[in-house]
Structure 1
Amino acid sequence: MFATTRRTALVSALATTGLAAFGNRAFAQETGSVAGAIDQFAQEVMAAFPDQPGLGITVVEKGKVTLAKGYGVKTLGTQDRCDENTVFGIASNTKAMTAALLAMLVEEGKVEWDAPVTRYLPAFQMSDPVVTKLMTVRDLLVHRSGLTLGAGDLMIWPAPTHTRADILAGLKYLPIGGQFRGGYAYDNVLYVAAGAVIEAVTGQTWEAVIKARIFEPLGMTSTVASPALVDRARRASPHARLGPPIRGMGPQTVLPFDASFDAAGPAGGVNSTPKDIAQWMLVQLGLGMRPNGKRLWGEPAAREMWKPQTITSWSDGPTDENPARPSMQAYGLGWFVQDHRGERMLWHTGGLAGFISYTALLPGRKSGVMIMTNAEETPVLRSLRYGGPDRLQGRKDYDWIASSRRVQAETEAQAVKDHASMTAPTAGGAKPSLPLSAYAGVYSDPWYGTVTISLAGPTKAKGSKKQGLKISFDKTPALRGQLETFDGETFKTRFDDRTQEDAFVTFDVKDGKVVSAVAKAVSPLADFSYDYQDLRLTRQP
């Protein structure tokens, strides 16, 4: 949904936590029961789901780092093992870092949480002028703007050419689908705006500020603010199941490493290691205090970031099938806040193509666990995201591996059913009402940009002499390929890059002419960042 410093600084910081004196595997064996239990559980998860390439796990107990370790391999089919220095994309776990940068600026009197965004970004606009006027810095971080889930994400995903300026300019065209401050819908684009506030106030890039204010003071020498800066020799490769029958199922595949996430850096650009992320966890659990006794931010700022702001869900609490189900969940400033089996827990997930991650902190214990993975394996993450905090509490009373297998089987069965329903033409596969040439043209959406549909030569089908259509999302090179007839005025993409989610494109025909089009993802498992449904494409003259 994302820096290097002097080596001496890192050695000093690690000496404080005890990691510098031990090899990773040996240290895990000499720790207490919590780290040992999580280490063992991670190995059990890897054994239960052998298609998972690799993991990185970090554990903090009572303000001390007790585990920072890699498991498995960086790339399937190789013997290149993950270790505590392997670099993973942490995606939206970046958001808490962006929030912390703003918190420091608030402490310095350079920003106010409840000041209007236009004070710092005079050109800032939402599609509703009232929302523009009322939107505060705090509102940028807490997912209550009225934007729909993942609105505008096609400006940041997958690997588009939009700049941060393009993303900010596009905000004024994104429809407000809900009530401002009236409910929760997760977004990424407003964290880009939060990064712009940081840049406007400091006169430096977000990348320069996060390096100087977080990475360097914490000795996070292997952590970078952009995938493009990752050391190739130490990075994990992304993996995913691309089908059949649908994306999310089928054999595990190595994906190309996407180094083009700079525009959305404040929302998810950070890449880190199990060893480095320990320092971030320590300063969070220390309420802004570093292990050396120096502060990055004060305790009031820390508590402000952890304070619930937007209710995201509620329930009747734990059940036999899910003993960790919270009774209340909310979003703070870069963190989700909820109860986990009777204790307050702060957490966040992160997802990029081929990477998913999870951070959980139990402030009452000054303990936490961070999980980094290099595959889109939801049962692996689910097992660890619940089993890890359980073990921080000294629990082993629920089989999260079996539970995750069951949930995965149910999810896949439903997805196959939904996919079959969605891809069955309701009109029996009727032909388009117009010649294919009538659908060719340039279509424009005010926030995304242009989509070009062109008449192509004969298809690749053996013996075929028919013309076809090609489609190009012009600012997204990965979203280009064939546009195939499907059902009447609805066509279906077949992108050349088969790692991408295809879309249905439905044209509106009036008086014998195509005037506009809308779209939606084909797969029921498509990530919400493929927000095709938000496009309102108008044919240009």
Structure 2
Amino acid sequence: MPAWAQQPAAAAAADQAIATPGGTGFTLPKAWIRAQAGDTVTTVSAPEGDLTIAIVDVGAAADATAAMAAAWKAWRPAEAVRTPKLVSPRAAKDGWDERPVFSYETSPNEKRFIQGAAMRAGQRWTVMIADGSEATFEKRGAAAALVSQSLCPAGYAKESFAGRTARPLDAARIAQLRAFVETSMKELGVPGASFALTDGKRTFYSTGLGVRELGDPTPVDADTQFMIASNTKGMATLLLARLVDERKLGWEQPVTQVYPQFRLGSAETTSRVLVKHLVCACTGLPRKDFIWLFNTLPTTPASDTFAQLADTQPTSGFGEVFQYNNLMASAAGYVGGHLVHPQWELGRAFDAAMQEKVFRPLGMTATYFDFDQAMKRNWARPHGDAIDGRPVASVANAMLLNRAVFPFRPAGGAWSSANDLIKYVRFELNEGKTDDGRQWVSTKNLLQRRIPNVPTGEDEFYGMGLETEKMGGVEVVHHGGSMGGYKSDIMLVPAAGVGAVLLTNADNGRALLRPFARRLMELLYGGRAEAAGDVRASAARYAGEIEAERKRLTIPADPAAVAKLASAYASPELGGFTVERGGKTGVTFDFPTLGKVPMASRRNDDGTLSFVTLEPTFLGFPMVVDDKDGKRALVVRDSQHEYRFEGRP
């Protein structure tokens, strides 16, 4: 027996660079357990014990499908292997000549995640398979990403820009970046986008591309308004940084000292939360978005943030893992606003504090939280993909959903334009100095927001409303934003003295964000041309996913199943909706925050039945029929929560 097979399984004390017996390198995350099965299978398991990633040295194989079949047989020879529902390509990179992804069907009630990737370097295949609890995958997603992102063939050295001098973004390189965005928009079906570039002195380029709405030739320009979603967070933490400078709070101060009403699920947990924990994504609180997605109106008071947090408990330890929680970020902004205007309602106080402490000093005249103001004139309409794969405007439903974020707007409710948001990026680039040279926020407290708190992947960390990572060994600070029909990103490369903003008006715009950053780095540092291939692979994957889902749906919905539905449903946590029979799909669910959503039916592999949303903004979301003891019910889940809608007469 080889030496590596004799080693007892033990949790890793820290992230460790290791290799499989076949020489494939990867990083074993802290607290995960490594084990071996024979000479070809290496497994790493999450601390909970219900999520495992297997890395199999397959060797020679006829193709990716054969390699995947061989890997399953080597890892679990006695188990019947599921047929993948979709095999989608990914661009060659990181030393791999091929690396398609295998997606597997699971029924909602399984609460199980299964996905694989077959990677070829020369004539040899390595297969990675992740299988286990959906909840644990959600909680440990950053660690799983560390494994997959670090995986590389034996002897491969990752690309490095370290030591290189950034090249100027001259007219020719800007033209290449613009052409990349235009081509990517066509491949992804993104109707409109806007981007801007800055150095430490000025905005040296900004533009709009495409149209504000499909079917309307009105073009997007650099002043077109988009929702910037979670890119609001960085500016909200900038408010906190200014207040630290003013000695109105401290990063290490308990939140209850500055806002005594703050509560989490227990007194012990509450007492441990410092101001910096509100926006570090490191407190162990999972996402809890369904309550505001399903059961929030624009008139819901801002104080609801604190009511929901009082009923929320961590699912992991402080500092243990990255778990993104919008309620905590919302609380951070409202605490800051309260300190500026303690006598005002929380929402009004926050809006005014952001104008006084952030937008106005930075010269940002077109960034605000007023939906009606944003939608009066030059604004980009939201888009998503229909079930037939066509991009369509989804204005009515998407804006109903997007308005539901207003009561939690410090986490993601701002509107801006490329020309205005780039001013904030330039302020970050200049480490707290305004365009006229004033040190408005101290460098120390501005940079405090970039200090790594928890890892989000390989060489990637979350700070406070900002992410930092090493792209080719060069530090990049960035953050993304996602609301219905809007995807955006901000980024700055301090070593190059360059910052950028990208705004899009389609859900598929998500697949352009990371490649845009990659293409910018390629142009700055002469990196390998990988960004375009990533976009093409994402476009093919999106199309394949929709087609695979469409094949499983019954449209119009199964009449017998529709007949058994109640006329209305209600959940204690998520509110209610009514059922309308008829129309093209046979049945529509009418939600307060999603509007009228046409539904299909779907027979799951385990024999259960789901009703599935056909609205582009929320496409493919399942609601599982759970009729027991004569009671009609529908169950919905995010990865770590389950909610039950009970039928009403």
Which range, TM-score by smaller chain?
0.7 to 0.9
SS at structure 2 position matched to 1:240: strand
Hey, what does 2:285 align to over in structure 1?
Answer: 147
One-letter identity of the residue aligned with 1:403 = D
User: What is the Cα deviation at residue 113 of structure 1?
Assistant: 1.4
Alignment of 1:350-365 (within 5 A): 350-365=481-496
Hey, what does 1:119 align to over in structure 2?
Answer: 257
Structure with higher RCO (Cα < 8 A, 6+ apart): 1
- Confirm or deny: 8 A CA contact 2:567 2:647 kept in the other structure: no
User: What is the Cα deviation at residue 97 of structure 1?
Assistant: 0.2
- Confirm or deny: 8 A CA contact 1:117 1:137 kept in the other structure: yes
SS at structure 2 position matched to 1:56: strand
- Confirm or deny: 8 A CA contact 1:54 1:72 kept in the other structure: yes
- Confirm or deny: 8 A CA contact 1:479 1:500 kept in the other structure: no
What is the distance in 2 between the residues matched to 1:175 and 1:490? Answer: 31
Distance 1:440 1:373, change over 3 A: closer
What is the distance in 1 between the residues matched to 2:600 and 2:549? Answer: 22
Question: For each residue in 1:38-86, what CA deviation from the matched residue of structure 2 results, as whole angstroms up to 9, or x when unmatched?
Answer: 3432234313543432221111135442112222222223332222222
One-letter identity of the residue aligned with 2:532 = I
User: What is the Cα deviation at residue 154 of structure 1?
Assistant: 3.7
Q: Does residue 1:53 correspond to 2:175, yes or no? A: no
Q: Does residue 1:265 correspond to 2:379, yes or no? A: no
- Confirm or deny: 8 A CA contact 1:152 1:174 kept in the other structure: no
1:476 to 581, 585, 593: 593
What is the distance in 2 between the residues matched to 1:130 and 1:501? Answer: 40
SS at structure 2 position matched to 1:169: helix
User: What is the Cα deviation at residue 134 of structure 1?
Assistant: 1.3
One-letter identity of the residue aligned with 2:420 = D
- Confirm or deny: 8 A CA contact 1:360 1:389 kept in the other structure: no
Distance 1:489 1:120, change over 3 A: farther
SS at structure 2 position matched to 1:406: helix
1:216 to 352, 356, 360: 360
One-letter identity of the residue aligned with 1:94 = T
Hey, what does 1:137 align to over in structure 2?
Answer: 275
User: What is the Cα deviation at residue 390 of structure 1?
Assistant: 2.8
One-letter identity of the residue aligned with 1:358 = D
User: What is the Cα deviation at residue 300 of structure 1?
Assistant: 0.6
What is the distance in 2 between the residues matched to 1:379 and 1:494? Answer: 22
Alignment of 1:15-414 (within 5 A): 33-34=169-170, 36-50=172-186, 51-148=189-286, 150-156=287-293, 160-161=297-298, 162-174=300-312, 176-203=314-341, 205-230=349-374, 232-244=376-388, 249-253=389-393, 255-256=395-396, 258=399, 260=403, 261-314=405-458, 328-377=459-508, 378-391=510-523, 393-395=524-526, 397-410=528-541, 412-413=543-544
- Confirm or deny: 8 A CA contact 2:254 2:272 kept in the other structure: yes
SS at structure 2 position matched to 1:300: helix
SS at structure 1 position matched to 2:216: coil
One-letter identity of the residue aligned with 1:383 = P
SS at structure 1 position matched to 2:337: helix
User: What is the Cα deviation at residue 395 of structure 1?
Assistant: 2.4
1:500 to 618, 629, 643: 618
- Confirm or deny: 8 A CA contact 2:282 2:322 kept in the other structure: yes
What is the distance in 2 between the residues matched to 1:480 and 1:54? Answer: 25
What is the distance in 2 between the residues matched to 1:414 and 1:79? Answer: 30
Hey, what does 2:59 align to over in structure 1?
Answer: none
User: What is the Cα deviation at residue 183 of structure 1?
Assistant: 0.7
User: What is the Cα deviation at residue 294 of structure 1?
Assistant: 0.9
Distance 1:470 1:374, change over 3 A: closer
What is the distance in 2 between the residues matched to 1:461 and 1:271? Answer: 35
What is the distance in 1 between the residues matched to 2:243 and 2:175? Answer: 38
SS at structure 2 position matched to 1:408: helix
What is the distance in 2 between the residues matched to 1:414 and 1:96? Answer: 33
User: What is the Cα deviation at residue 232 of structure 1?
Assistant: 2.4
User: What is the Cα deviation at residue 333 of structure 1?
Assistant: 1.1
Distance 1:127 1:498, change over 3 A: same
- Confirm or deny: 8 A CA contact 1:145 1:181 kept in the other structure: yes
User: What is the Cα deviation at residue 284 of structure 1?
Assistant: 0.7
Question: For each residue in 1:395-437, what CA deviation from the matched residue of structure 2 results, as whole angstroms up to 9, or x when unmatched?
Answer: 263142133202432454356447757x69xxxx9978x9947
Question: For each residue in 1:190-214, what CA deviation from the matched residue of structure 2 results, as whole angstroms up to 9, or x when unmatched?
Answer: 1111122113212252111111111
Question: For each residue in 1:502-538, what CA deviation from the matched residue of structure 2 results, as whole angstroms up to 9, or x when unmatched?
Answer: 543345566x243975314xxxxxxxxxx48724337
One-letter identity of the residue aligned with 1:232 = K
User: What is the Cα deviation at residue 338 of structure 1?
Assistant: 0.4
What is the distance in 2 between the residues matched to 1:187 and 1:350? Answer: 14
- Confirm or deny: 8 A CA contact 2:387 2:616 kept in the other structure: no
What is the distance in 2 between the residues matched to 1:515 and 1:131? Answer: 37
SS at structure 2 position matched to 1:536: strand
Distance 1:442 1:235, change over 3 A: closer
One-letter identity of the residue aligned with 1:376 = D
Identity %: 22
What is the distance in 1 between the residues matched to 2:232 and 2:372? Answer: 16
SS at structure 1 position matched to 2:441: coil
What is the distance in 2 between the residues matched to 1:461 and 1:306? Answer: 50
Question: For each residue in 1:431-471, what CA deviation from the matched residue of structure 2 results, as whole angstroms up to 9, or x when unmatched?
Answer: 78x9947x66754334x3x23567x6x64589xxxxx9875
User: What is the Cα deviation at residue 485 of structure 1?
Assistant: 8.6
What is the distance in 1 between the residues matched to 2:645 and 2:572? Answer: 7
What is the distance in 2 between the residues matched to 1:273 and 1:517? Answer: 40
Distance 1:415 1:182, change over 3 A: farther
- Confirm or deny: 8 A CA contact 2:384 2:616 kept in the other structure: no
What is the distance in 2 between the residues matched to 1:231 and 1:250? Answer: 25
User: What is the Cα deviation at residue 230 of structure 1?
Assistant: 1.0
SS at structure 2 position matched to 1:306: coil
What is the root-mean-square deviation in Å for CA atoms of aligned residues? 3.5
One-letter identity of the residue aligned with 1:155 = W
Distance 1:239 1:481, change over 3 A: closer
What is the distance in 2 between the residues matched to 1:515 and 1:117? Answer: 43
Distance 1:418 1:380, change over 3 A: same
Distance 1:243 1:505, change over 3 A: closer
Hey, what does 1:518 align to over in structure 2?
Answer: 635
User: What is the Cα deviation at residue 376 of structure 1?
Assistant: 2.2
SS at structure 2 position matched to 1:173: coil
- Confirm or deny: 8 A CA contact 1:55 1:70 kept in the other structure: yes
